[in-house]
């Protein structure tokens, strides 16, 4: 295979990977905003809402909350990152 063809193929796949990462990043940012807006807990210090995050690495989207007590609040039935997770699930299912 000539180097020119190999370079074109590599560029094609690199562009596809960038598009996937950009799509995941948009999903993650929207999910975080939904989580901040829909959190049904009493946010006394603002720390819990500020601690929501999304991250894209190696074409994988991660959602979470950095507050140590986030899982405790969530386990009590409060929406910490649940709205964002449901949003992402729906968006992916709608793509099928």
Q: Extract the tokens encoding 7.
A: 């370079």
Residues 34, 92, 63: CA angle, nearest 5 degrees: 45
Amino acid 2: pLDDT: 87
Helix (H, G, I), strand (E, B), or coil: what is residue 63? strand
Does the pTM surpass 0.75? The reply is yes
Sequence-separated (6 or more) residues with CB below 8 Å from residue 4: none
Q: Residue 48 in contact with residue 55, Cβ under 8 Å?
A: no
Q: Where are the domains of the chain?
A: 3-95
**pLDDT of 32-87, one tens digit each?**
999 988 888 887 888 999 999 999 999 999 999 999 999 999 999 999 999 999 99
């Amino acid at each position: 295979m000539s180097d020119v063809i190999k370079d074109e193929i590599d560029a094609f796949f690199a562009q596809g990977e960038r598009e996937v990462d950009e799509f995941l990043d948009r999903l993650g940012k929207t999910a975080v905003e939904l989580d901040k807006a829909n959190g049904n807990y009493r946010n006394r210090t603002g720390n819990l809402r500020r601690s929501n995050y999304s991250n894209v690495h190696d074409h994988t989207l991660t959602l979470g909350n950095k507050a140590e007590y986030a899982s405790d609040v969530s386990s009590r039935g409060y929406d910490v990152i649940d709205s964002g997770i449901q949003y992402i699930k729906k968006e992916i299912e709608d793509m099928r």
